[in-house]
């Protein structure tokens, strides 16, 4: 059994972008994604779990392959259990929400912001009256992403 992979330093693959769990290398229209064994919570890397990156990457590869006829994806190849090579894509700056993570009438955790009424809009979209914490929304809600990216670019 090999040692957990906390980080990568692969030469010749392009500009390195370090994320919380994956390291990406971008060159031209290709992105090489390397799933590491890092584990994170609340935007903090806590350590490593052996084979986590391999399991994560192989699960993703399985589902990308199974659903490619339904929704085309970026995957070009999976040359290693921890590596996916994909087409470089530009993401949409939005989040899809299916439920209320907190009560709309309560303040956001640790924010100090004032509470808002249950009928107050989120991202200019009105929520149903009486919505409770963790309740499913009647239809998915598209909103701006919840936070900025924590990825770091290195050359």
Q: What is the pLDDT of residue 107?
A: 46
pLDDT of residue 85: 97
Per-residue pLDDT reduced to its tens digit, 30-44? 999 999 999 988 888
pTM score, whole prediction: 0.64
- Strand 30-35 with 38-41, pairing: unpaired
- Tokens 């009256």 correspond to 129
Give residue 85's region: left, alpha or beta (phi > 0; psi -120 to 50): beta
- Give me the pLDDT at residue 126, please: 74
Q: Give 38-73 pLDDT, tens digit per residue.
A: 998 888 889 999 999 999 999 999 999 999 999 999
Contact 22, 34 (CB under 8 A): yes
Q: Supply the pLDDT for residue 68.
A: 94
Question: What is each CA distance from 67 to 20, 54, 120, in whole angstroms?
Answer: 26, 20, 37
Whether 140 and 97 have beta carbons less than 8 Å apart is answered as yes
Give the tens place of pLDDT for each residue, 3-22. 777 778 899 999 999 988 89
For 57, other C-beta atoms within 10 Å of its C-beta total 21
How many helices (H) and strands (E) are present in the chain, helices listed first?
Answer: 1, 10
Q: Which residues pair with 96 in a beta bridge?
A: 142
pLDDT digits (tens, 9 = 90+) for 130-154: 777 778 888 888 888 766 555 555 5
Determine phi and psi for 22, rounding to 5 degrees.
-115, 145
């Amino acid at each position: 059994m090999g040692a957990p992979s906390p980080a990568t330093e692969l030469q010749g693959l392009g500009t390195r972008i370090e994320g919380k769990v994956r390291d990406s290398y971008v060159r031209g229209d290709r992105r090489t994604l390397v799933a590491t064994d890092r584990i994170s919570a609340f935007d903090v890397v806590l350590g490593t779990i052996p084979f986590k990156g391999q399991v994560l990457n192989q699960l993703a590869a399985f589902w990308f392959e199974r659903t490619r006829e339904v929704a085309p994806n970026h995957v070009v190849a999976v040359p290693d259990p921890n590596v996916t090579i994909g087409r470089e894509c530009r993401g949409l700056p939005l989040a899809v929400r299916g439920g209320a993570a907190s009560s709309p009438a309560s303040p956001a955790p640790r924010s100090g912001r004032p509470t808002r009424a249950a009928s107050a809009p989120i991202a200019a979209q009105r929520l149903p009256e009486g919505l409770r914490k963790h309740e499913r929304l009647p239809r998915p809600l598209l909103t701006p992403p919840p936070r900025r990216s924590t990825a770091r670019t290195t050359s």
